[in-house]
Amino acid sequence: MIRVQQRSYTLIAWPWSVMRWAQVPEGLEFNLYDVVQPMVRGVDVPGTPQDAARWKTAHDAYQGLLRHAESTVRHAHGVRSRPGLMVDVRAVRLRRYDLLPGRKARSRRLFAECRTLMRAAEEAYRPVLDEIEARLAHTPEGPA
């Protein structure tokens, strides 16, 4: 038995809430299933250790691609990470990107590229996601 935990990935809300000109597209929410230790809350799914290793590798790659797409669009909008007081890193926003001409069109283009990268990653993860959900449908508890 393999224990999996369902997680969802969405874009981090800050700084898009304060950047009125940045137009964040709707529907960028992705479901993933992580293979977790037996003591962690989740759902037991029938499978082999090879399935667990393959699912864990696919999950890590998928989450890495989603994070890369988000960090790319955040960096292009002027969001940087800096060392902070009492925290390892904190996000800061460079104001000079607010003054660029055509910033709305640039923001739309950057988010379109981000959406394309995220959808491509989703399509690569889709076979693993379908396999896990098919096995979850056959378990008596269902997804957590």
Give the model confidence (pLDDT) of 21-31 as tens digits. 888 888 889 99
Q: What gap in Å lies between CA 39 and CA 33, rounded to an integer? A: 16
- What band does 142 get if pLDDT is binned at 50, 70 and 90? very low
Q: Let me know: does 7 contact 34? Beta carbons within 8 Å.
A: yes
Report the predicted TM-score, pTM, of the whole model to 2 decimal places.
0.84
Contacts 24+ apart (CB under 8 A), 115-124: 115/25, 115/28, 117/65, 117/68, 117/69, 117/72, 118/28, 118/30, 118/65, 118/66, 118/69, 120/65, 121/62, 121/65, 121/66, 121/69, 122/30, 122/62, 124/61, 124/62, 124/65
pLDDT digits (tens, 9 = 90+) for 54-99: 999 999 999 999 999 988 998 888 887 777 677 676 777 777 767 7
**In the chain, alpha helices (H):** 49-76, 103-137
| Closest by CA position to 95, among listed 18, 35, 5 | 18
More reliable by pLDDT, 136 or 89: 136
Distances from the Cα of 89 to the Cα of 80, 86, 92, 94, angstroms: 10, 9, 10, 16
